[in-house]
Amino acid sequence: MLVRFISGRLLSFEMKPQLVLIASLLAVRVAAADFDVATSTNQVGIDLYRQLAAETPAKNLAISPYSIESALALAYAGADGETRAEMGRVLYLPQDDQPIQVAFAGVRESLDRMVVKSAQRAKLLERDGGHEDVVEWQAANRLFGQQGYAFRDSFLELLNTGYAAPFESLDFMHGAEKARVAINSWVGSQTKDKIRDLIPADGVDNSTRLVLVNAFYLKAPWAQPFKKAMTTDLPFHADGTRTETVPTMRTTTRLDYLKGNGFAAVVLPYAGGELQFLILLPDDQDGLGPLIAKLTPELLHDCSDRSQPLLVSLDLPKFRLEGSTIPLHEKLKALGMKTAFDLPPGSANFDRMAPRKPKDYLMISEVFHQTFVAIDEKGTEAAAATAVAMMMGGGGGRPFVPIEVRVDHPFLFAIQQRSSGVCLFIGSVAEPR
């Protein structure tokens, strides 16, 4: 998250959006007592994903709801007044900080435990002559702030203790490019260089005052790896009609399966069972759009909760999704988060982050997001990072007959933490590569 500062005058800031917007606002409020981190995180991800997918319906796309919500939660902790209320509505967050901290801490801790258990399990298997690749996971939040700026101690303490987001001092005023390189280098180190140049050129300047970042890396082996000898070149109907030949993995095994209305869902577990890869395959070759339209957190939950273990013959193309940084500020404004971006001028209120003065106050100017997802016979390697920019403004069936699931046309996928249901990634593959 980038914070820019201009003192003594109101500044009109206009980004150059690269994506066409479609307004998609669900007026859902979550009471603090009922706060569900998975529902909130997944709904924000779906809201943003729909807008991005509408812009590029025939393209590959992946975002990380977990990274986006984590980064924006850091900004939310510093928001006040109508800005906080508005952000709460768009992000589906309660007004009270405590349940948010507890929920995100719970997700972090369970994912950290997953890594420890994976290492222990691998060691036991090795002792008995077996082998299993370990799950790799590392995630971090970080605040990069202008040295000497008057951030509130209470805000810095809240983010450090409540969100595991320590503060690091940089000098944007006298070396903005050097600071940008340092932040991007930190993101690269957290993601094993899968996320590069998260903050683009001119993403910060000498008016920047704060950058809040979430970054994570995941490498997870399948519970049952695909056999490379079974991978063959098979047809994939890239846009519903155009056919390409792509390397496709094949297996026949027991998997959780659900036949939904117009789609089939298959769940592939990762080693240890804490994470899962959910495939949502439309019945029709051109059915990706209608499936995206019906996507909800409840549907994602049902695909896991109501699926049954059945014998499934699965063909799944290998794919690798990576791209440049996606700006999200226009998408968030379309969802209703406007005063945070100082619309109308003078309305942004992040007084809990730093003292708000008539001609010296913080506003969000941009939200940068980038992901990487690669699927092969062994498992999944993935990474994501988000930075938010701010600037100053003035089991039944037939068990022995396999169900055929041929993923040979555009489909949706999600990588989820099973215990919470939080989506680390939501994406679609229109053309495997």
Annotate 322-352 with DSSP letters as a single string: E---EE-HHHHHHHT--GGGTSSTT----TT
Place of tokens 């095994």: 253
280-292: per-residue pLDDT in tens? 999 999 899 999 9
pLDDT at 205 over 90: no
Tell me the mean pLDDT in the region 318-326: 92
Tell me the mean pLDDT in the region 263-287: 95
Tell me the mean pLDDT in the region 237-248: 86
- Listed in order, the ranges of the chain carrying CATH 2.30.39.10 are 228-318+396-429
* 229 contacts: CB under 8 Å, gap ≥ 6: none
Q: Are 422 and 42 in contact (CB under 8 A)?
A: yes
Q: What angle do CA 255, 258, 259 make, to 5 degrees?
A: 135
15: left (phi over 0), alpha (psi -120 to 50) or beta: beta
Tell me the mean pLDDT in the region 125-129: 84
C-alpha distances (whole Å) from 5 to each of 14, 73, 142, 422 are 15, 21, 19, 35
- Listed in order, the ranges of the chain carrying CATH 3.30.497.10 are 2-105+134-220+321-392
Confidence of residue 22 (pLDDT cuts 50, 70, 90): very low
Cα(110)–Cα(113) distance, rounded to whole angstroms? 5
What's the pLDDT at 12? 33
Cα(198)–Cα(416) distance, rounded to whole angstroms? 23
pLDDT at 365 over 90: no
User: What tokens does 350 get?
Assistant: 């992040």
Tell me the mean pLDDT in the region 40-65: 92
Confidence of residue 59 (pLDDT cuts 50, 70, 90): confident
Confidence of residue 388 (pLDDT cuts 50, 70, 90): confident
Tell me the mean pLDDT in the region 360-370: 88
Residue 314 burial class via C-beta count within 10 angstroms: exposed 0-12, middle 13-18, buried 19 and up? buried
57-61, 169-173, 291-295, 426-430: lowest mean pLDDT where?
57-61
Q: What is the DSSP letter of 402?
A: P
What's the pLDDT at 208? 87
Q: Nearest CA to 67 among 387, 379, 350?
A: 387
80-95: per-residue pLDDT in tens? 999 999 999 999 999 9
What's the pLDDT at 14? 34
Residue 388 burial class via C-beta count within 10 angstroms: exposed 0-12, middle 13-18, buried 19 and up? buried
Tell me the mean pLDDT in the region 163-184: 94
pLDDT averaged over every residue in the chain: 87
Q: What fold is seen in the domain 2-105+134-220+321-392? A: Antithrombin; Chain I, domain 2 (3.30.497)
pLDDT at 19 over 90: no
Tell me the mean pLDDT in the region 17-39: 46
Percent of the chain predicted with pLDDT > 70: 89
Report the C-alpha dihedral over residues 219, 225, 229, 232, rounded to 10 degrees. -70
The CATH-assigned architecture of domain 228-318+396-429 is Roll (2.30)
Q: Are 428 and 410 in contact (CB under 8 A)?
A: yes
* 242 contacts: CB under 8 Å, gap ≥ 6: none
Grouping H, G, I as helix, E, B as strand and the rest as coil, residue 431 is coil
Within 121-170, strands assigned E span 136-146, 167-170
- pTM value is 0.89
Confidence of residue 400 (pLDDT cuts 50, 70, 90): low
User: What tokens does 241 get?
Assistant: 């009609």
Confidence of residue 178 (pLDDT cuts 50, 70, 90): very high
What's the pLDDT at 240? 61
User: What tokens does 302 get?
Assistant: 């049902």
What's the pLDDT at 34? 63
* 31 contacts: CB under 8 Å, gap ≥ 6: 94
Q: Are β-strands 308-317 and 403-406 bridged in parallel, bridged antiparallel, or unpaired?
A: parallel
